[in-house]
Amino acid sequence: MLAELKKRVRHIIRLLKRAYPDAKCSLNHSNAFELLIATILSAQCTDARVNIVTQDLFRKYRKPEDYLKVSTGELQQDIRTTGFFRNKTTSIQGTAKALTEQYGGVVPQTMPELLELPGVARKTANVVLGNAFGIHAGVVVDTHVTRLSHRLGLSEEKTAEKIEQDLIAIVPKKEWVIFPHLFIAHGRAICKARSPLCEECVVEKLCPSSYLKTGVMPGN
């Protein structure tokens, strides 16, 4: 059963790589610190909106110390349109303080150290480790990855943490970084939350939830 699932996952990855050869992290950044800040801002917000905000933000604040010099109110205004701006400001300034005091202003490269930073959970840590440092520490699980994992029968779990553990067991480790980017690209283009385009899907034949098979539109 597990061997068959692993084989199907490898097939899915091959097909999605062919369909989305340019799949990559969609958060604009030029270094690990910028990616860390952008990922904190991306919670409950679209990457497109985050990229609009960080266009000015990353010109204004270039290193952790810069986020500590600015007033809380000013930083809140700078990131207001990403939503939950008060909590995000607390996380960003807390993370900037920790990086400055504990790591010399440099983003650490291990999961345990990243998880100690304010506002950083496994998803954020995986994004930074995988995309800034090329470290395969886990699989990023967002709403797209959750939805596609359920529809493709790769996990029945409800929480991101448990879905990630299911994926770690069946996705080849060398694919852990690219895997979520492929699912995100496919989720945005084809396997949408509402009205998925099953007739245009390159992995439809491998999908147990396809309405071409079931006659029922997949749920979210």
**DSSP notation for 124-159:** HHHHHHHHHH---------HHHHHHHHHTTS----S
Place of tokens 């992290």: 25
Tokens 């699912």 -> residue: 183
166 is catalytic: no
Distances (CA, A) of 94 to 20, 102, 118: 37, 12, 6
Active-site residue, from 47, 78, 88, 123? 123
Query: What six digits make up the tokens of 195?
Result: 């009205």
DSSP symbol at 206: G
Does the annotation count 24 as an active-site position?
Answer: no
Task: Give the whole-angstrom CA distance, residue 96 versus residue 89.
Answer: 10
Contact 21, 43 (CB under 8 A): no
Angle at 110 between CA 36 and CA 44, to 5 degrees: 35
Of 6, 17, 97, 142, which is the active-site residue? 142
Closest CA to 204 of 218, 185, 184: 218
Instruction: Catalogue the active-site residues.
Output: 123, 142
